[in-house]
């Protein structure tokens, strides 16, 4: 049986942590998704816990806002992550051959995880305004995949919290709205919390914030949605996540 809770939590935050090391993760009681429809049965799942995944392919639409000479600027970027956990050890990934989303090839890392992050030649990343067409060549236990999941990206409104964050007092990260999500990830600096669908506010204590260093950081709210499909006898999870990010400062 596979349990890849932490792996998936990291993958969905790829745009924020660039597939770096583990972040603090405070999740509420998880439950495995029921699959097929992108939703979860009661009790509500707030952490993506896939005990039966043979593959996970996630498209991430990121909106980053910052101040440029007194004028607000927002940049939209499309990224993607793919993994194929082995049957014996979910932290060991299988080589799935080539993987692409909307015609953009994902880069295979040394651990066989796949990622597409905007670069100098493609600063806006993958165009996710239309379909999300995945193509996997397949390799060994990993099946060939050619799918365009039809469910929609979650919607997330603007972050309304202050961007100057004192580290000696509690802080509440607010967003104006969240719709069409299975769960919502809130992040302040290195602190990550996952909450139930529709949550638009998340508290961070002074004790938590006191672990952070003074200086530049970022705050982020990222709702996600999943569904799964059996492909050649393998259960493949498709995910869509929308991330709203603001630059911030720890005092």
pLDDT for 186-237, tens place per residue? 999 989 898 999 999 999 999 999 999 999 999 999 999 999 999 999 999 9
Per-residue exposure over 58-78, b if at least 16 CB sit within 10 Å of its own CB, e if not: bbbbbbbeeeeeeeeeeeebb
Quote the DSSP letter at residue 11: H
Q: How many CB atoms lie within 10 A of CB 175?
A: 23
pLDDT digits (tens, 9 = 90+) for 50-88: 678 899 999 999 888 776 777 777 788 899 999 998 887
Domain total for the chain? 1
- Which of 195, 184, 175, 173 lies closest to 225 in space, CA to CA? 184
Query: What pTM, to 2 d.p., does this model score?
Result: 0.77
Q: How many CB atoms lie within 10 A of CB 86?
A: 15
Q: How many CB atoms lie within 10 A of CB 43?
A: 11
d(CA 107, CA 96) in angstroms, rounded, equals 12
What is the pairing mode between strands 234-250 and 164-165?
A: parallel
d(CA 134, CA 194) in angstroms, rounded, equals 26
Q: How many CB atoms lie within 10 A of CB 127?
A: 14
How far, in whole angstroms, is CA 216 from its chain's centroid? 22
Do residues 58 and 241 make contact, with C-beta atoms less than 8 angstroms apart? yes
How confident is the model at residue 48, as a pLDDT? 58
Domain enclosing residue 39, as ranges:
5-250
How confident is the model at residue 67, as a pLDDT? 67
Least confident of 39-48, 159-168, 228-237: 39-48
How confident is the model at residue 36, as a pLDDT? 34
pLDDT digits (tens, 9 = 90+) for 103-119: 999 999 999 999 988 87
d(CA 194, CA 46) in angstroms, rounded, equals 6
């Amino acid at each position: 049986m596979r349990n890849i809770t932490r792996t998936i939590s990291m993958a969905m935050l790829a745009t924020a942590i660039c597939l770096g090391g583990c972040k603090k993760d405070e999740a509420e009681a998880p439950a495995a998704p029921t699959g097929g429809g992108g939703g979860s049965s009661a009790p509500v799942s707030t952490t993506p816990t896939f005990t039966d995944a043979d593959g996970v392919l996630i498209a991430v639409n990121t909106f980053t806002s910052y101040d440029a000479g007194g004028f607000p600027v927002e940049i939209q970027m499309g990224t993607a992550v793919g993994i194929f956990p082995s049957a014996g050890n979910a932290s060991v990934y299988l080589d799935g051959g080539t993987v692409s989303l909307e015609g953009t090839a994902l880069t295979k890392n040394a651990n066989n995880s796949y990622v597409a992050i905007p670069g100098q030649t493609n600063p806006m990343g993958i165009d996710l305004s239309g379909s999300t067409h995945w193509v996997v060549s397949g390799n060994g236990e990993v099946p060939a995949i050619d799918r365009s999941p039809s469910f929609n990206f979650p919607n997330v409104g603007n972050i309304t919290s202050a961007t100057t964050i004192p580290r000696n007092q509690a802080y509440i990260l607010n967003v104006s709205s969240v719709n069409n999500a299975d769960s919502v990830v809130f992040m302040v600096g290195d602190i990550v919390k996952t909450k139930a669908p529709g949550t638009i506010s998340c508290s961070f204590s002074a004790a938590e914030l006191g672990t952070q260093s003074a200086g530049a950081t970022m705050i982020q709210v990222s709702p996600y949605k999943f569904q799964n499909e059996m492909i050649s006898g393998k259960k493949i999870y498709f995910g869509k996540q929308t991330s709203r990010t603001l630059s911030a400062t720890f005092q």
